Amino acid sequence: MTINMEDRIQINGAWYIKEDVATSKFEKVTISQLEPGIKYDGFVFESDLYAFDCTRIYDEDGNLYKDDNVCIKFTDKSKYSGLGNNEIEEQWDNVNWMRGIIENEVEAIEEAMQSLCSQGFAELKEVLTTLRAAAWIN
């Protein structure tokens, strides 16, 4: 294959071959229709300091993916600097731990308090109690 000098470009001392966008391999891809593979539902609880984005997923047949499949994306908004997406985020998916907080188990509470102030812990407990009332946590 012979490459003409007109088909090359130099950037910062490195030579590259120019591609014609009209013939790019990405333009030749056709997609008939995308269908969602996984469905989910959720609740979002938010205060001045924290956000709790609670979700659970379903399989292709519309059944819950597994028992106790609850995931909480926790965001500590107090750490936000205003310069971008600098919040502190954690993913919580241990339903036994969530149940332990609802039932006042010391170990679960101590672990939660590593990420939360007393206001945040009270909010988390309210979120978990609401999820239990909605039959997300048994």
| pTM of the entire predicted model | 0.68
pLDDT at position 12 is 84
CB atoms within 10 A of CB 112: 20
Give backbone dihedrals phi and psi of 112, rounded to 5 degrees, phi first: -65, -40
**For residues 61 and 87, is the Cβ–Cβ distance under 8 A?**
no
| Average confidence (pLDDT) over 83-103 | 84
* Angle of helix 118-133 versus helix 95-102 axis, rounded to 10: 110
Q: Average pLDDT of the chain?
A: 82
| Average confidence (pLDDT) over 63-82 | 81
**For residues 38 and 58, is the Cβ–Cβ distance under 8 A?**
yes
Side chain identity, residue 124:
L
SS3 at position 103: coil
Residue with more model confidence, 15 or 100: 100
Q: Please report which confidence band the pLDDT of residue 76 belongs to, taking 50, 70 and 90 as the band edges.
A: confident
